[in-house]
């Protein structure tokens, strides 16, 4: 299946380094970042898994659970985990899904049919999915094998999604938590604007109005 933004992501039950995981039950009412890898013992992915382990307190603060996926089995993941912890000087504090049967990769449309392993199976592309508490897909990105993912950017996107879900605003280019935000163009009534944005706003253009971040 091809997932689009706003779609309900499919559930699955799969083995992991933390035991069997029913995805919906595991996610609960949290946000989730699911990020995939084409194989164990790959250099770029080793650095990524270590980086996410170090950033886990930042994800926790935002009510976000993180979970990785690789196409190898749990035994292989356990061996790779030792390498990750040794080389990245951290403890792997979240699960890695085992997807040797490609079940999850197929559900989430992550199979690269042009890249086949020695067993004749397609590899999984390096995708990221941000999923909200309603199990809706809010962001997806796919990276080339040579480029490590920017997890600070994913935290920034989560900050934006959580803010804009609760307030009638959008976040401009290069926005970071605490910066001014953009008032939704649909809001035009002066009394409504005064009520929603008591700190005031700056009208750059009628369609471009900046206001201090409402929850700061």
Please report, for the domain that includes residue 143, its CATH number.
3.40.30.10
Is residue 195 in some structural domain?
yes
What pLDDT sits at residue 1?
A: 57
Find the domain containing 181 and state its range.
167-211
What's the number of domains the chain is made of? 2
Burial of 146 (C-beta count, 10 Å sphere; 0-12/13-18/19+): exposed
Distance of CA 209 to the CA centre of its chain: 29
What pLDDT sits at residue 118?
A: 57
Distance of CA 27 to the CA centre of its chain: 13
What pLDDT sits at residue 205?
A: 95
Phi, psi of 76 (to 5 degrees): -65, -40
pTM exceeds 0.85? yes
Q: Which residues of the chain have pLDDT under 50?
A: none
Q: How far apart are CA 85 and CA 17, in angstroms?
A: 14
What pLDDT sits at residue 121?
A: 62
**Strand pairing partners for 169?**
183
Active site residues: 45
Q: 24 and 125 share a domain? A: yes
């Amino acid at each position: 299946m091809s997932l689009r933004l706003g779609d309900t992501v499919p559930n699955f039950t799969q083995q992991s380094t933390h035991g069997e995981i029913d995805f919906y039950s595991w996610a609960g009412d949290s946000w989730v970042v699911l990020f995939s890898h084409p194989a164990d013992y790959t250099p770029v992915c080793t650095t990524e898994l270590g980086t996410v382990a170090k950033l886990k307190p930042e994800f926790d603060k935002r009510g976000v659970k993180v979970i990785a996926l690789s196409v190898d089995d749990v035994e292989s993941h356990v061996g790779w985990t030792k390498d990750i912890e040794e080389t990245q000087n951290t403890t792997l504090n979240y699960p890695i899904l085992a997807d040797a049967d490609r079940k999850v990769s197929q559900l989430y449309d992550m199979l690269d049919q042009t890249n086949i392993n020695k067993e004749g199976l397609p590899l999984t592309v390096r995708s990221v999915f941000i999923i909200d508490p309603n199990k809706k897909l809010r962001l997806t990105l796919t990276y080339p094998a040579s480029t490590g993912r920017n997890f600070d950017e994913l935290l920034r996107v989560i900050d934006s999604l959580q803010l804009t879900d609760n307030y009638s605003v959008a976040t401009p280019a290069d926005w970071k938590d605490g910066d001014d935000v953009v008032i939704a163009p649909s809001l035009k009534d002066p009394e409504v604007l005064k009520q929603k944005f008591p700190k005031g706003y700056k009208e750059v253009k009628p369609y471009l109005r900046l206001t201090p971040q409402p929850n700061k």
